[in-house]
Amino acid sequence: MPAEPGAVEIRVVACLVEKQRTTPDAYPLSLNSLRLACNQSTNRDPVVDYDEATVSGALRQTALRGWTRLTSGAGSRARKYRHLLPEALGVDDGELAVLAVLMLRGAQTPGELKGRTERMQGFTDLAAVQEVLERLIERGYVVRHPRRPGQKEDRYEQVLGGGDADPGPEAPPVRSSFPADATTRSTLPADATTRSTLPADRVGKVDRDGVGVGKDDRDAGDEEFVSVAEAPTPAEAADEVARLDRLEAELLELKGEIARLREALGD
């Protein structure tokens, strides 16, 4: 897990906070709804174009941090997600609203924050916003930047993470844009490695799931293995990563269900 959250994680958890406050009837969010929230063109800086695999990978990382969890509504079979930032960071409603807007829109002045947090948390005046910012600074969640020429106020920025460059709308992110240690194949079991990462002495045989095997791995009479003469195409590699993403998401859901059952049984 990275030392600090990347830009995708910051965007994902901030969108969960925002939608909980502004559209509570639609919260928790499905994976697709969360993707749309991340990619919306209003109240976002920068505007991004994440795909579901990118958002799913970020959710796995934020779950490991204790920032999000898989959940589901009554009678709903769709996977949905909610944030746990108040518990994870120990912040109150006002502090959470300010942090979320800083996560979504970058460094801002107290005046900008007052206007942009209005839908989530109404502050009576700039002094109330400033008080929240000072508390966040003391706890290491926010830093103050000197005012720019022509500006009357200092600017404030969240420092929970997000240092990785966000892809812009002209360059949609690909899975290789994940932080190097976020969801790479090096964290997968050895038998789940794709063909392109096989040792040289094992290239040449793959099963129907794309997992490489050597001559000694093939059972007599097993017709499920086929010979290959070339490396997988980019499309094949993308399909394989998507398949692994789905399997990991299902595993995370099962773990959540087990945890909820244990809580219900008082274990």
- Is there a single domain that holds both residue 151 and residue 258? no
The angle subtended at Cα 68 by Cα 251 and Cα 4, nearest 5°, is 105
- Is there a single domain that holds both residue 154 and residue 224? no
Query: b vs e for 152-188, b when ≥16 Cβ sit within 10 Å of the residue's Cβ?
Result: eeebbebebbbebebbeeeeebebebbbeebbeeeee
Q: What 3-state class would DSSP assign to 226?
A: strand
The predicted model gives 79-98 an average pLDDT of 97
pLDDT digits (tens, 9 = 90+) for 39-70: 999 999 999 999 999 999 999 999 999 999 99
Would 172 be classed as within a structural domain? no
Would 179 be classed as within a structural domain? no
- Is there a single domain that holds both residue 154 and residue 208? no
- Is there a single domain that holds both residue 151 and residue 23? yes
Cis link prior to 46 (omega < 30° from 0)?
Answer: yes
- Is there a single domain that holds both residue 254 and residue 203? yes
Q: Which strand (E) or helix (H) includes residue 84?
A: none
* Alpha carbon 27 to its chain's center: 17
Would 171 be classed as within a structural domain? no
> Considering just the CA atoms, what is the radius of gyration of the chain in Å?
22
For residue 197, pLDDT over 60 is answered with no
- Is there a single domain that holds both residue 146 and residue 194? no
For residue 238, pLDDT over 70 is answered with no
- Is there a single domain that holds both residue 152 and residue 189? no
Separation in Å, CA 107 to CA 23, 104, 138? 25, 10, 17
| Cα(67)–Cα(8) distance, integer angstroms | 13
| Cα(175)–Cα(179) distance, integer angstroms | 9
Higher pLDDT among residues 186 and 115, named by residue = 115
Would 43 be classed as within a structural domain? yes
What six digits make up the tokens of 235? Answer: 């499309």
Domain end call among 158, 177, 208: 158
Confidence of residue 81 (pLDDT cuts 50, 70, 90): very high
Residue 261's domain spans which residues? 185-265
Show contacts of 124-133: CB within 8 Å, 24+ apart. 128/94, 129/98, 132/94, 132/95, 132/98, 133/98
Would 78 be classed as within a structural domain? yes
The predicted pLDDT at position 244 comes to 67
Would 176 be classed as within a structural domain? no
What six digits make up the tokens of 98? Answer: 């300010």
Cis link prior to 28 (omega < 30° from 0)?
Answer: yes
Indicate the pTM of the whole model. Answer: 0.62
For residue 257, pLDDT over 80 is answered with no
The predicted pLDDT at position 187 comes to 39
For residue 201, pLDDT over 50 is answered with no
- Is there a single domain that holds both residue 132 and residue 199? no
Q: Which strand (E) or helix (H) includes residue 59?
A: helix 52-65
Would 166 be classed as within a structural domain? no
- Is there a single domain that holds both residue 112 and residue 193? no
Would 170 be classed as within a structural domain? no
The predicted model gives 193-208 an average pLDDT of 39
Residue 56: name the closest of 232, 261, 251 by CA.
251
Indicate the number of domains in the chain: 2
Confidence of residue 248 (pLDDT cuts 50, 70, 90): low
Average pLDDT, the chain: 76
- Is there a single domain that holds both residue 29 and residue 98? yes
- Is there a single domain that holds both residue 151 and residue 223? no
Indicate which CATH number applies to the domain containing 13. Answer: 1.10.10.10
- Is there a single domain that holds both residue 78 and residue 125? yes
